[in-house]
A and B are shown apart, each in its own frame.
Chain A
Amino acid sequence: MATPVLRWCCPGRRWVFAGIGGVSRHGRGVPTGSTSSGKRGQSSVAQQPLITAQKPRKGEREWAAVVGLEIHAQIASNSKLFSGSQVDFAAPPNSLVSFFDASLPGTLPVLNRRCVEAAVMTGLALDCHINRRSLFDRKHYFYADLPAGYQITQQRLPIAVNGSLAYSVCVGKRRSQMVTRTARVKQIQLEQDSGKSLHDSLRSQTLIDLNRAGVGLLEVVLEPDMSCGEEAAAAVRELQLILQALGTSQANMAEGQLRVDANISVHNPGEPLGIRTEVKNLNSARFLAKAIDYEIQRQINELENGGKILNETRSFDYKLGCTVPMRDKEGKQDYRLMPEPNLPPLLLYDSGSLPPGTDPQQVINIDQLREQLPELPRVTREKLVQQYGMLPEHSFALLNEVGLLEFFQNVIKETRAEPKKVTSWVLNTFLGFLKQQNLAVSESPVTPSALAELLDLLDRKAISSSAAKQVTDVKKGNPRAINKLIGLVRRATLGRADPTVIKEVLERQLSS
């Protein structure tokens, strides 16, 4: 099947086939603001943003796409969910495997308190209802990296339910306007990670590493409230920031600490939802949106051509840029769920329900965890907007880069320059240089104090904005930029200063 060429017709909203011309025939307004939470069915279908697709000579049909996500976040904990083995991404293969992790007969699960706390905190941060009593289930399937033949999870009565995740996407002609949308959180469940299989087709063998087997996961299930790759990616990004702020997961996608499965279907507006496919293992932010958009378009094409959508599991081929059916997931899987008999119900308490005289080590108090919640990204951004009169998108940009907000705040502390100026310098000049040099904020050669001093000079009009930019250039490792600065100094001293001395002084200053 030929890969359809896609392009944006209307930002974030509509699909058309290439070659038809980017005319928006329906002119439907783009829904803005958050979608209402809690209701499904007719009303929410009507809320689904519309996607237009058209085939020449077949007349036009509207298509709405529906995307739901299952996000697996590895819990940041010292030990695994049910065993005392350490959790370490970089350890040598099979060096962190307890008897339980290898499913030795007779071993039993013992729940890790830290993982429960992480789930409760995440649930609270996503406005979930925390179940005072939750249960563990066994989900059965045979796979080489699943030693017990089942995964312990919380399908039926999970630890947290009915929450919401607010995220923002850019809309408008120049994609400069931020609007907030909401995806409902169906549930958050605690479950075990599997091990890793390495297939060596050359020697036709599979190698198993069980270091990851049994690591605690938070599965966050988002209702199908998203309608395109961009929305899904934005929702995942927001969740990532929340998890990182909470410290419940490092949520690093490259290291597999955050993995996404997407459930995707398309339908004609006003009609019931279509048959969905599941695209598994979207382990990179870059490919998440791509894979979803591809799959939406593939389904539209399929239906437009009179085909059918199969309820199947697909994976995204990064090289080809398309989704393909997963061969080992063919056939109907029946997970034969049953209650995990070795774990009693997980009971949580709040300050009101805490039985008197209980050992705080033996119980988890939800209210106590709520008090310990750190500031969430949404609040941080609102504060930035309020405090510094910053544009919302700038507040997003500041939070998007690890360490950038802290850098910004340190500069603000030390400079008399206007916050708007600081924002612009940090987001444009500073961040631009970092990106150019492929550096993280923590690797930056420019300290917040240096930038603050520079902005002070600029503020006092001691130096010009172009000179300041030259300074940052030198700092960024462009030695030739110093020549321009020497020129500036010579001009300022009316040619009386010795260029060699100027260079020495400048170098001393800049390297400090």
Chain B
Amino acid sequence: MWWRVGHEDHVGPDPPRSEWNCLLRAQGGREDSRSPCSRGRGVPRPACILVSAALKQGQVTPTELCQRCLSLIKKTKFLNAYITVSEEVALKQAEESEKRYKKGHSLGDLDGIPVAVKDNFSTAGIETTCASNMLKGYVPPYNATVVQKLLDQGALLMGKTNLDEFAMGSGSTDGIFGPVKNPWSYSKQYREKRKQKSHGKNEDSHWLITGGSSGGSAAAVSAFTCFAALGSDTGGSTRNPAAHCGVVGLKPSYGLVSRHGLIPLVNSMDVPGILTRCVDDAAIVLGILAGHDPKDSTTIQDPVKPFTLPSLTDMSKLCIGIPKEYLTPELSSEVQSLWSKAANLFESEGAKVIEVSLPHTSYSIVCYHVLCTSEVASNMARFDGLEYGHRCDIDVSTEAMYAATRREGFNDVVRGRILSGNFFLLKENYENYFVKAQKVRRLIARDFVNVFNSGVDVLLTPTTLSEAVPHTEFIREDNRTRSAQDDLFTQAVNMAGLPAVSVPMALSSQGLPIGLQFIGRAFCDQQLLTVAKWFEKQVQFPVIQLQELMDDCSSVFENEKLASVSLK
């Protein structure tokens, strides 16, 4: 049920584009002159910028905004999106932000904006668990650089979001705090489609997974409990849940954003990810996070200037590549047809669209398995119960204490990866596995370089094989099989360190979001986002309608009300 929308003329029965968009309508369609894309109605609005403008004009205070989000967090607690809600911290930050606004000294676009952070980023004074028994109760004494940068901009930290244990998974189902539920499970769009099929029996047991491992962050943004959230992306962990939850998920170029304070999965592939409700917001957050960090030697040295995305005007200069290897048998026909429609859209608007080849794509998964588990084995060695984290009661010997601590602290998935990784790193196996995987990784990276050197600006691919599946279906396969399937389109990007963004395109026949992925040249994140923004504007992805659910709880969940209340 893909629908194409005219550029400026979309008015009518379709759901509003975003809550701040409808907020404006409620206010009488006031245009914000600061908005870089304020050309008429029906255009997706940069939520942060608009809220920011509202804050500056005193239409809403940071404390009101903060309380609104806190109340939404409470109402949507059953989603299990948050592990820790830092209510006191957020309210205090809101209070300080409010003082700044009163003095007219706001710190920037993020001042007073509620954000959430995946629970694998260190937050000073706030428990950081990685959804693992190993780190339950661990309170870091320092902030991750990206967290500090958000706070320095005056952002309000609402809490820490749920994930798969140590970010190992693609469902956000394998953490000690239980699975995250996809807000779309409770959307009007999905429920209506389901009613037609299965006559409303056993409704709640069919809740959908969010994808992962940054499922908590995706759900938090999707359910309006914050405006932006940090995820992490090692093989698709930001883009995958973004696609399933109908939000924008950006994986920046490796080295553009500091990893200091991000509890690592695979150091050579991890990147802090950004989840927002529109591309412009992702660009704003990226502008704040990007740049050299003296605490992370792998960040770029060149200074990064903050940027606003231009509107793409001359489509004829744009060349979109469609990698033929991504057309796999496992790809659902619906995603496939949306993918080709997107390609047609670019072509019909004047862009050059060509088929390209990334011949080593099929080796990506197995190669990733070797490299990922090896680094995991190494990174997890520090969790021995001595300096921090869980420690068992056994004190027979140091070795016995290590063994029991690690057995109790890690789940099966983590332990399994540690075991495989140590196997690959053994002296007798190193050449045959690790070194070979590194060579294959180089070939995969070279595939991309070749394609970009041939004149392609951006690659267009699916993000996931299909829309989100019900939890009951998802857990029929084990974590490893699931990860291998679900990372298919996203993982090679991490191997090559490229920027990529998943943009929600449309709802499936089941009423669930489907996202497409754009892949850019290394460090051409801005160009990538510019294309993504153009695409976002064309497709007019519908806003999630949680009214039915919200009515059960409270009327404020209704989008228009939320919007107008916020602004009064």
Contacts and interface: CB of A to CB of B under 8 A. Distances in A.
A102 interface: yes
Interface in B355-385: 374-375, 377-378, 380-384
B40 interface: no
A302 B372 CA distance: 47
B382 A342 contact: no
Contact of A99 (B130, B142, B374, B399): B142
A344 B298 CA distance: 6
B260 interface: yes
Contacts of A107: 260-261
B297 A102 contact: no
Interface residues of A, number: 31
Interface stretch (A17-25, A242-250, A331-339): A331-339
Interface in A76-108: 99, 102-108
Interface stretch (B68-76, B82-90, B263-271, B450-458): B263-271
A170 interface: no
A341 B268 contact: yes
B295 A110 contact: yes
B278 interface: no
B425 A140 contact: yes
Nearest to B166: A105
B291 to A, nearest CB: 16
B9 interface: no
A343 interface: yes
Contacts of B140: 104-106
Interface string A306-342: 0000000000000000000000000000111110011
B508 to A, nearest CB: 37
Interface string B66-109: 00000000000000000000000000000000000000000000
Contacts of B434: 338
Interface in A96-127: 99, 102-111
B264 A106 contact: yes
A337 B384 contact: no
Contacts of B264: 105-106
A338 B425 contact: yes
Given A336-B422, A336-B426, A110 B294 contact: yes
Contacts of A111: 297
A147 interface: yes
A104 B427 CA distance: 28
Nearest to B134: A105
B259 A108 contact: yes
Contact of A105 (B263, B294, B298, B386): B263
Nearest to B259: A108
A16 to B, nearest CB: 40
Given A108-B295, A149-B382, A338 B374 contact: yes
Interface residues of B, number: 46
B12 interface: no
A84 B275 CA distance: 34
A338 B378 contact: yes
Nearest to A208: B386
Contacts of A407: none
Contact of A142 (B260, B262, B402): B402
A250 B276 CA distance: 55
A144 interface: yes
Interface in B114-135: 121-122, 128, 130, 135
Interface string B246-265: 00000000000001111110
A150 interface: yes
Contacts of B142: 99, 104
A341 B270 CA distance: 11
Given A104-B141, A106-B144, A106-B262, A149 B384 contact: yes
A138 B263 CA distance: 18
A387 B387 CA distance: 59
A99 B122 CA distance: 12
B388 interface: yes
Contacts of B268: 341
Nearest to B269: A341
Nearest to B423: A336
B258 to A, nearest CB: 9
Residue from A110, A138, A341, A344 whose CB has the most chain B CB atoms within 10 Å: A341
A144 B397 CA distance: 11
Given A99-B141, A147-B386, A334-B426, A106 B378 contact: no
B474 interface: no
B8 interface: no
Contact of B260 (A102, A108, A147, A206): A108
A106 B261 CA distance: 4
B262 A336 contact: no
A208 B398 CA distance: 12
A273 interface: no
A148 interface: yes
B381 A104 contact: no
Contact of A104 (B294, B388, B402): B388
Contacts of A149: 378, 380-382, 384
Given A106-B140, A149-B382, A208-B386, A342 B261 contact: no
Contact of B381 (A148, A206, A334): A148
Interface in A396-452: none
Interface in A259-274: none
Residue from A105, A110, A362 whose CB has the most chain B CB atoms within 10 Å: A105
A108 B297 contact: yes
A271 to B, nearest CB: 27
Contacts of B384: 142, 149
B430 A148 contact: no
B408 interface: no
Contact of B382 (A108, A110, A147, A337): A147
A155 to B, nearest CB: 12
A337 B424 CA distance: 10
A150 B378 contact: yes
Contacts of A144: 386, 398
Interface string A126-165: 0000000000001010101001111000000000000000
A103 B377 contact: no
B296 interface: yes
B297 A342 contact: yes
A148 B295 CA distance: 17
A360 to B, nearest CB: 15
Contact of B263 (A106, A338, A362): A106
Contact of A102 (B295, B301, B387, B430): B387
A138 B378 contact: yes
Given A105-B388, A334-B427, A362-B301, 14 more contacts: A99-B141, A103-B382, A104-B388, A105-B138, A105-B263, A105-B264, A106-B140, A106-B144, A106-B262, A142-B381, A150-B378, A336-B422, A341-B298, A341-B375
Interface of A: 99, 102-111, 138, 140, 142, 144, 147-150, 206, 208, 334-338, 341-344, 362
- Ordered nearest first, which 5 A-B pairs have the shortest CB separation? A149-B381, A336-B425, A341-B267, A341-B268, A105-B263
